[in-house]
Amino acid sequence: MNWPQNVTIKEVGPRDGLQNEKAFIPTEDKIAWINQLSETGLNHIEITSFVNPKWIPALSDAVAVATGITRAKGVTYSALVPNQQGLERAFAANIDEVAVFMSSSETHNLKNINKSIDQTFPILKAIVQDSITAGKQTRGYVSTVFGCPYEGKVDIEQVVRVSESLFEMGIDELSLGDTIGVANPKQVVQVLEVLLKRFPPEKLAMHFHDTRGTALANILVSLDMGITTFDSSIGGLGGCPYAPGASGNVATDDLIYMLHEMEIQTGINQEKLLNASRFIQEKIGKPLPSRSLQVACSTVG
């Protein structure tokens, strides 16, 4: 197989991880945790979400978190933005990167952001344009690429249509979401064969949830197809509250274990990452899905 020498990991735990937690993690704990993450060697952290706080109460303190953290040099601090109101909050919090998001399936888009796909395009287009004008980096997410909790399999042409529209808006990078963790390696190859005919691999990131334990296998085949950017969540925290059955992202701890053992560099310090993982596990008060974390907890106590 075809292995790269370096991989970029984009940590989404503070956003994708916490958005699905019932317990509200106090703002000062979020800040302390993100500050720890900033010292691990990660160079990209999605720290929160400027969505409607009624929809995602766990992240209602987005501005306080984004303005309370210590910004480390060389780290990009990113956040989700769904509309103009969110963008104003994101600008007020001086976020480095604005991440817009929508689904490739109509029903999930509606349940998640209360709009049809066609109604969503102009909203995101304005956000991306305003962000570029303000000198921000921009990222797009397309969800339900490998399956929708309401519609089942998603036609690849729908994924292509949404992806093309997001790139036309001017996003720097597109993250392909397996929102409910249904993808398998054969399907990942099939989807990437289509998308890589249209978009270069360096513009794509993969965002696998590990609901059924297939995320690392999906990452391996993505690596072989030339993808070198992956989203993951420390401890394996995560899930989309508007996608029934969705559980955590692939655990950053397990992903870096695998990559480092394969002599693929990430720039992340494993021990510091495990400490940050332990920290949030304690705050959440239950064991997190990461296998590496559980091994570390059982051997160190």
Of the listed pieces 22-30, 32-40, 84-92, 281-289, which binds ligand HMG according to CB under 6 A? 84-92
Q: Which of 167, 196, 191 is nearest to 177 (CA)?
A: 191
Q: Applying CB under 6 A, what is the total number of residues that bind ligand HMG?
A: 27
Q: Applying CB under 5 A, what is the total number of residues that bind Mg ion?
A: 1
Q: Which of 142, 178, 299 is nearest to 250 (CA)?
A: 178
Q: How many CB atoms lie within 10 A of CB 22?
A: 8
Whole-number Å distance between alpha carbons of 23 and 38? 23
Of the listed pieces 16-24, 63-71, 101-109, 283-291, which binds Mg ion according to CB under 5 A? 16-24
Long-range contact list for 258-261, CB < 8 A, 24+ apart? 258/216, 258/219, 259/7
Does 37 interact with ligand HMG (rule: CB under 6 A)? no
Does 21 interact with Mg ion (rule: CB under 5 A)? no
User: Closer to ligand HMG at the Cβ: 6 or 94?
Assistant: 94
Strands (E), 122-199: 137-143, 173-178
Q: Among 27, 76, 114, 137, which residue interacts with ligand HMG (rule: CB under 6 A)?
A: 114
Q: Which of 244, 253, 183, 256 is nearest to 215 (CA)?
A: 183
Whole-number Å distance between alpha carbons of 22 and 25? 9
Does 55 interact with ligand HMG (rule: CB under 6 A)? yes
Of the listed pieces 23-31, 51-59, 68-76, 132-140, which binds ligand HMG according to CB under 6 A? 51-59
Does 19 interact with ligand HMG (rule: CB under 6 A)? yes
Does 101 interact with ligand HMG (rule: CB under 6 A)? yes
CA distance readout (Å), 132 to 37, 78, 98, 190? 27, 14, 9, 33
Residue 97 · residue 173 · CB < 8 Å:
no
Does 86 interact with ligand HMG (rule: CB under 6 A)? yes
Residue 169 · residue 205 · CB < 8 Å:
no
Whole-number Å distance between alpha carbons of 283 and 285? 5
Question: What does the per-residue mask of binding to ligand HMG show for 248-277, with x meaning CB under 6 A?
Answer: ------------------------------
Residue 240 annotated in active site: yes
Does 208 interact with ligand HMG (rule: CB under 6 A)? no
Does 51 interact with ligand HMG (rule: CB under 6 A)? yes
Does 97 interact with Mg ion (rule: CB under 5 A)? no
Judged by beta carbon distances under 5 to 8 A according to partner kind, the member of ligand HMG, Mg ion, none in contact with residue 52 is: ligand HMG
The SS3 assignment for 252 reads helix
Does 91 interact with ligand HMG (rule: CB under 6 A)? no
Binding positions for ligand HMG, rule: CB under 6 A: 16, 19, 49-53, 55-56, 80, 82-83, 85-86, 89, 101, 112-114, 141, 143, 177, 179, 207, 209, 240, 242
| Active-site amino acid positions | 240
